[in-house]
Amino acid sequence: MEGLWQGRAPLAERLRPHGLEEVVGQRHLLGTTGPLRALLEGGVGIPLVFWGPPGTGKTTVGRLIAGRWGARFVQRSAALATVTEVREVLTASRELWQRVGQRDLLFLDEVHRWNRAQQDVLLPFLEEGSILFIGATTENPSFALRSALLSRSQLFVFEPLAEDDLGLLLERALVDERGYGGKVTVQREAAEFLIRHADGDARRLLTALETAVGTIGEGELSLVQVAEAVGKKAPRYDRAGEEHYNLISALHKSVRNSDVDATLYWLVRMIESGEDPRYVARRLVRMASEDVGLADPDALPLAVAAAQAVEQVGMPECALALVQAAAYLALAPKSNALYLAHGEVRRDVEATVNEPVPLHLRNPVTDLMRGVGYGKGYRYAHDEPERVAPMPGLPEGLRDREYYRPKDVGWEGRIVKRLQALRALIYSRARSAP
């Protein structure tokens, strides 16, 4: 399609701010009392790390900082650039610094893509101050970056753009001469659709608008036209990144808190985002034991059945089985008594002497073993009046332990008195055992 904007730079590039006052969003950093603005106005050229999702202005702010500091902006991506290429940039800046006292600003995008050994190449140059540096990442720096790099840098967190900010950006794109100069308008419902579609990402918003204009042309754009041109939103999700762990955490905590609506939302969001259904099924099985336990003994078999459905049926048919299991777990009575018991037992196993198995619990399969005491004192539970023998099973040094403490909820609430009676039979009459 022939058009006024054919052959020009992408809309997102044309609208890139020329000054801090044009930056949309990030007021917590760049507002009148924002720490990043204060740092820039103070002229302090320390290494920086920008952490935030795509389309939140990290590169734009980096360019503006280079201008403020009078530095040449050199952008590299850790996903594409080799250590050798970046070392050349670092060395050139060092030579410039030594020769005329100026420095380049290296903006290393996706810095989390470099492993810890590769990140080491930056450290001596940052230590001596021969280059200005900004590392940008969409991943949690605590996990992705070396502590040595973080300790030399100031971290700033970029947030997804709010709907009001995206609305301002959309209006700018429509009326600014760098955008469409008033030749394109969008109906209110279409504007709301574009803002929701952006999901906090300015670049996504402008790309969607540019796609719609390129498909439909100038004039007023309706909701139906924009939705058809843009298509369905692809949720932001990285199965290997932090969002993966954030979502499964939200799902697990919603199940634990018996919030069935939130449970279904987070589950479906994970599935629709492309999460491996086998991973979801494994986590549901874990929740059944960790958070429901014996408060509802049917929870674990149902979760296991859902996992089997995933293996036997596959997507998309198995999705409903996962929904059923997750809803059941959310609505089931909750008890973490077994989870706590497991932890206590593990700590005792690790921290105490591994005492030998009591003789009365050993199986005397030979005469020799019987002669040294194997099986001595053993009483067959089925021969006892209560079907319980007065015969402690724990090692001598752990006889005072009561690991399992059931909660007064669901099926577990029904076994509290029985457990008390069982322990009384096993331990209070133990002295009478032969």
CATH of domain 26-157: 3.40.50.300
Confidence at residue 237, expressed as pLDDT on a 0 to 100 scale: 59
Give the global pTM.
0.68
Domain boundaries, the chain: 26-157, 163-230, 258-331, 355-432
pLDDT tens for each residue of 364-402: 988 888 888 999 989 899 988 889 888 888 888 888 888
pLDDT tens for each residue of 276-295: 899 999 999 999 999 999 99
Find out whether 146 and 47 touch, Cβ atoms under 8 Å.
Answer: no
Is residue 424 very low, low, confident or very high in pLDDT (cuts 50, 70, 90)? confident
Highest mean pLDDT among 126-130, 295-299, 366-370: 295-299
pLDDT tens for each residue of 238-283: 666 677 888 999 999 999 999 999 999 999 999 888 788 999 999 9
CATH of domain 258-331: 1.20.272.10
pLDDT-above-70 percentage for the chain: 94
Instruction: Find all residues with CB under 8 Å of 276, minimum gap 6, and list them.
Output: 239
Confidence at residue 433, expressed as pLDDT on a 0 to 100 scale: 43
Could you check whether 163-230 and 258-331 share the same CATH topology? no
**In this structure, what DSSP letter does residue 259 have?**
-
HSE value, Cβ hemisphere, 13 Å, CA-based, for 379: 20
Q: What is the DSSP string of 363-395?
A: ---SHHHHHTTTTTT---GGGSTTS--S---S-
Confidence at residue 199, expressed as pLDDT on a 0 to 100 scale: 86
Which class in CATH covers the domain with range 163-230? mainly alpha
